[in-house]
Chain A
Amino acid sequence: MNAWLRQHRQAAGAALRRLGVLNTAVIGVALSLPTGGYALLENLRGVAGRFALDTQISIFLQPGAKRADADALGKTLRADQRIAKVRFVPREQALKELSGVQGVAEVIAALGRNPLPDAFVVTPRDQDIGQLAGELAGLPGVAHVQADAAWARRLAALANIGRVAIWLLSALLGAGLAAVTFNTIRLQILTRRAEIEVSKLIGATDAFIRRPFYYLGLFQGAAGGIVALGIVAAGLGLLNREVRALAESYGSGFRFDFLGLGDALAVVVFAGLLGSLGAQLAVARQLREVEPG
């Protein structure tokens, strides 16, 4: 086997044997915060995205409106370039849909007549629907216009704030990871001072001496990333037990999904890179001080 490859394998092996459980756990717990936050946010974004797609404007006609008036309005709506889709909901159908909802059927029966107006549900092409909704309200025969996207937009804005917070947290804890690794490697260099000094005396190159420390930083970071993924998976599992009961009561199958493969891989890779960065800083700072003489 190639001598260079053998040296790398030996350095990696030595690094693996020096991998500390406690340090790995500390890094894992620290990283689980932004990782878990990211997982929750991705789930929330999924929900917000689903509603945002459905940005709709409901147009309710005056209760006494004739079907011919509705047809005329429908024509106007379909001709509007800003509107992608128009769906007409006759008052009879609306009543039928409403009767399906538990408890409402009795109320309607007690009323003895259909209190609902005809309605159009339109899907605008554009997300910014405030102006369009205003104009629609002014059309003849229109009693009331309801634009439902506002709260979806608020949810999306909230998710954006959350995302910024997650990035901040990631940056802070990433720096923390590098610092923890820096300290670990610094202590390793101090405890291996004799070995490093002897190695230098008998002709070890700087690269040879540094290599196990770089590997240690890399492995420790990556192992911390894996621990973080484990913590997040366990946490989401616990959450989902509660969420399922709640979601079922709303007739929803919602549950928190774990990170995708790409995201999970990215966590491990980034943690590893940050670890090796911390190791490089420590080695650059500390190793020159260990000179024989």
Chain B
Amino acid sequence: MVSFSSVAKRYPGGQEALRSVTFSVDAGELAFVTGRSGAGKSTLLKLIAAIERPTSGSVIVNGQNVGALKRAAVPYLRRNIGLVFQDQKLLYDRSVFDNVMLPLAFSGLPPREAARRARAALDKVGLLAREKANPIQLSGGEQQRLAIARAVVNRPAILIGDEPTANLDAESAGLILDVFVGFNQVGVTVLIATHDQGLVGRLGRRVLRLEEGRIA
């Protein structure tokens, strides 16, 4: 599903985030990407969603060479990838429900079907009762769950979390992890970047450890 071969990423200014990364994640797998801050975790995830392009090497996602993707093709790649960020990137000028509706606006679904799907996504993360609230009224854990609902509402094949539990207490973090595991159980490929070793150890899943821009 996701495959890196000899991927390097150098940012303008010379900073080398990734030196040579090779790995692959199969469809339906759940894997963690760990490493200290600055080890290149975020860069690795950004390469998958074509937010950044590799300097060299190839990034294949869902059979597509992301590095060679035309600008106009990027949106269609991203519709198949659910992204969850440490800062949830929610929109605070609209309700919880409308935040989840956003990805459905360009899905071409009829409004009634779109609303049904948005509620189903909110239900899966346990936020259906809060659909009319503003995201600012939610707790940190709830905001992160809302971000997950928005990421999965288009039923992507890949779900990516970039430090999704970083600012949360242990209980909320565990809840978030359960949601990711739940989606993995129904066949979604999940990739989570985190520096929380306790979280990783609990599940006993595959771990890709990044050190100085390489898989250790």
Contacts and interface: CB of A to CB of B under 8 A. Distances in A.
22 contacts: A1-B110, A6-B110, A7-B106, A10-B105, A198-B89, A198-B91, A200-B75, A201-B49, A201-B51, A201-B83, A202-B102, A202-B103, A203-B77, A203-B78, A203-B80, A203-B103, A203-B106, A205-B75, A206-B75, A208-B106, A293-B46, A293-B52
A202 B51 contact: no
A263 interface: no
Interface in A153-205: 194-195, 197-205
A204 B102 CA distance: 9
Contacts of A203: 75-80, 103, 106, 154
B46 A197 contact: no
Nearest to B88: A198
B198 interface: no
Contacts of B102: 198-199, 202
Contacts of B103: 202-203
Nearest to B80: A203
Contacts, number: 57
B105 A7 contact: yes
B72 interface: yes
Interface residues of B, number: 26
Interface string A249-293: 000000000000000000000000000000000000000000011
Nearest to A11: B105
A194 B51 CA distance: 16
Contacts of A21: none
A109 interface: no
Given A194-B91, A292-B51, A3 B79 contact: no
B108 interface: yes
A40 B174 CA distance: 76
B150 interface: yes
Most buried by A among B89, B103, B105, B108: B105
B154 A202 contact: yes
Most buried by A among B72, B76, B102, B106: B106
A6 B75 CA distance: 19
A199 B106 CA distance: 10
Nearest to B71: A206
Contacts of A204: 75, 105-106
Interface string B12-53: 000000000000000000000000000000000010010110
A201 B46 CA distance: 10
Given A7-B105, A10-B105, A195-B91, A202 B72 contact: no
Most buried by B among A194, A197, A201: A201
